[in-house]
Amino acid sequence: MLRLGAVLVGCAWAQQPGVHTEEYHPKMPLWTCGSYGCSKEDKTITLDANWRWLHNGQYTNCYKDGGFDETLCPDPLTCAENCHLEGNSEKEYKSTYGIKETNKGIKMNFVTTTKYGSNFGSRVYMMDGPEQYKMFKLKNREFTLTVDMYYMPCGLNGAVYFVEMDADGGKAAATAKGGVNAAGAKYGTGYCDAQCPHDMKFMEGKANVIGWNASHDPPIGKYGACCAEMDIWEANSRATAYTPHPCSITGTYICEGIDCGDNAKDERYDGVCDKDGCDFNSWRLGDKTFYGRGGSFTVNSREKLTVVTQFITEGNTDDGDLVDIRRFYVQNGKVIPNSNSSIAGITGNSVTDKVCADMKREFGDIDDFNIKGGLKVMGEALDRGMVLVMSLWDDAEANMLWLDSDYPLNKDPSIPGVNRGPCNTDSGTPSYLRGKFPDANIKYSKIKVGTIGSTFRGSSDDDDDDDDGKWDDNRRLGEVHI
């Protein structure tokens, strides 16, 4: 996954807990399933720290208009000591960030505007009590959720994925490294992923103020936050992919220099994480009739659908190595197997080390996935435990072309692997999306985890063949399946 979505204009980030508003955690149920059936647990979510208001304990901003206050944040540690990460009420989750509890899940709006500015997208984590993230261990298990993609146009990404964050949001790590993080998981601290994002404002209890570049979109600092990542669902209504990203490190790793694998320094494949991952994208693998808007597609993104991901181990045991990541869908009471590749030299409909190696070879890509350890190393991260992330974002760096259009743009789209979806190459710019689709949104619900085959059966949803209006825009007409 490429990162990151936009945040509230004028807001900021912190490491001390807030003092003005008691933090509310929206409800998000979780079902745990087995041979006995499924049992419901009452869980909650919290908003990532990068979206929150940061202040000095009163009303002075520590961060504003892309930069840190030089008086409050003269150095990394002083900034963490001075600045407070504010809580949000249930009303503020809705009115400021566009996050609303729904029946059995949540709804996330793309653009939410207040008198203080506009918020673009958001990112939340599932909690296990008020102070800890829920840790998922998924080897020899399956993970299921239901998504509503109707209002997700080209260029947006509704993402559900797991990252190897610390359960406490990095509080203990901050103490061990001489930092200050009293806010912790309750306030959404400690994010990391396989892109080693440099836009995290605090890492291990210290502000990322050194070398801070406020003119970059998004603003970035010297350090990055790396960890293993398993992308379950990256999608809009036109394209989707699921992607493991192994790393050569364990847990959260704060990188600098070559370890970050920065694109701008031409070091992408020299870092500690596999940034490309091994993405199974049905369109990219040749099936342009499998997923899309309308009843002519096998999986119709205009209707709710249930996404099932199975983590198969050697010997089908909890301690076996991860050897396969399989995908099924359930829609209108029908269980739908994943599409098969129709690209010459690539055979299969799931993520295995062989399929990944074949994809890299046929697409002419560097096989950083297997260099970083492939499924075995990805499975080790899953075994240690990972945090569930749900988000909605646009992409200032690559306009989401890597998901739903031609990418990279300097290659001929006829070359296998370059064309990844039907969207126009100019349809994913944030300014365009924010102007035309401010009412875009996504719904996540019915999240289940359990033994293989225990979380899904079949359910019926109403069919819908009405005209899509503007939500049908920005695809290349010659590539739409009729």
C-alpha 383/C-alpha 476 separation (Å) is 42
Axis-axis angle for helices 353-363, 374-384 (nearest 10): 130
Q: Which of 482, 440, 462 is nearest to 154 (CA)?
A: 440
Structure token digits, residue 36? 């006995």
Please indicate whether residue 70 is annotated as part of the active site. no
Closest by CA to 320, choosing from 330, 328, 310, 312, is 312
Among candidate residues 384, 447, 455, the one with its CA nearest the CA of residue 127: 447
* Dist. CA 210–CA 78, nearest whole Å: 13
User: From the candidates 23, 92, 229, 303, which is the catalytic residue?
Assistant: 229
Annotate 326-361 with b (16+ C-beta within 10 A) or e (fewer). bbbbbbbeeebebbbbebeebebbbbbbebbbbbbe
Burial (CB count within 10 angstroms: exposed 0-12, middle 13-18, buried 19+), residue 172: middle
φ/ψ of residue 109, rounded to 5: -90, 150
Instruction: Answer whether 242's CB lies under 8 Å from 250's CB.
Output: no
**φ/ψ of residue 437, rounded to 5:** -125, 50
In angstroms, the CA 206 to CA 174 distance is 8
Active-site residue flag, 256: no
Map tokens 């003092």 to a residue: 19
Catalytic choice (90, 234, 267, 303): 234
Type and span of the H or E element at 32: strand 30-34
> 337 in the Ramachandran plot: left (φ > 0), alpha (ψ -120 to 50) or beta?
beta
Residues 6+ apart with CB under 8 A from 395: 2, 5, 155, 157, 428, 430
Which 3-state string (H, E, C) describes 127-160?
A: ECCCCCECEECCCCEEEEEEEECCCCCCCCEEEE
**Beta-bridge partner residues of 447:** 30
What's the token pair of residue 388?
A: 């569930």
Give the integer Cα–Cα distance in Å for 241 and 232: 8
Cα atoms found within 13 Å of the Cα of residue 362, Cβ hemisphere only: 19
- The dihedral of CA 131, 24, 59, 124: what is its sign? positive
User: Would you name the residues annotated as active-site residues?
Assistant: 229, 234
